[in-house]
Structure 1
Amino acid sequence: MSGLDKVKAALTARSEREAEALLDAARAASAESDRRENERIEAEERGLRERLETQRRQLLTRERANLALEERKSLLARRQEWIGKVFTSAAAELAQRDPATKLAAYKRLLDREELAAEFAAQPDTPVGLTLAAVDYALYEPLLEYLRSKGRTKVEAVDEGSPFTGGLKLIIGAIRFDYSNEEWLARRAGQLTPEIDGILRGEEQG
């Protein structure tokens, strides 16, 4: 091989090596680019899955909250229905008591400590007594009972709001409500746990 041929061969070999090196570099760059692109796609997919899972959990939480709210509304509505039935029945029974029993009960109301204290604090203040319409016949004996307790200024007054039984008293600007409705309303809080237990028992049954 002549010297020229040797030079040509050397140049060709070097060119081939350089070309191969360039190809290797290009392949490496392409592989790195592919790796980064795959990582980007995987990260986006992972982020999407996480967002979807978060949305699913939020939706489930809202659904559970809505269900709990609906159950609570249902329980409250049924509780009020039961309390209404209990009150109606109790008010009817109280109103149907015989006059002698009512008179004795109303006198006990007039003997309550808070009334005695107010009578003592306002000895000369007029006293107004209000009874339910069904108890009209009890006005006179109760007014007489108040007079026997030292109250000279007593009278029957129309308080304005109807009620089924019991009595209401006005001493100056102070009002005392001993009506059946007021007594039953105060009992509502005591009845609630018992009624809730009955309602939950119905649901489980």
Structure 2
Amino acid sequence: MKIVLASKNNHKLAEMSAILSQLGVEVVLESDVGVDVEVEETGETFEENAALKAQAVMKASGLPAIADDSGLCVTALGGGPGVYSARYGGEGLTDKDRYELVLSGLSGQIDRSAKFVSCICCAFPNGDTLTARGECPGLITYGPRGEDGFGYDPVFLVPEKRKTFAQMTGEEKNAISHRGRALEQFKTELEKYLSESAQ
């Protein structure tokens, strides 16, 4: 089965392929099937945005489409940046600009608790949808640590690992990350769906 990833992010493609290939699912980018869809993320929740993206790419490609909407929710910032994580602070900012904005927002704050959330939606041409959600709790550091990862990874510390996401290998991060957890849940849902469809 081929599923189109409603994203142009190669990091997400690698993470999704690593887990879904175990089910014999081939995950491809929009560009691989000649589709280029810009979806306005107008949803107020991660679930709504994931569904908007999956539906749009499924309609444009005629193939099952999978989308993930994820972000960082910081307790002392009222759950922000949340669904605005990728656009936090406005257009034209780099990942570094955005995590520095979070750090400055937490200046003087003792509560550094936060969580990464990932919601996955897969839309099928027959109208069926599958959804999954994963969360990874952690703390916001006082400064960036590590060279790997992307987005807010350098300032997101997983206490039991004593490492930020940016200090972990891809395997370490996938084993505990919000997207890794959502994908494992999604894999179970998809496995059940495929076996029921085959009957």
Tell me if both proteins adopt one fold, taking TM over 0.5 as the criterion.
no
* Higher-Rg member (1/2): 1
What is the TM-score when the length of structure 2 is the normalising length? 0.31
What is the TM-score when the length of structure 1 is the normalising length? 0.31
Higher fraction of strand: 2
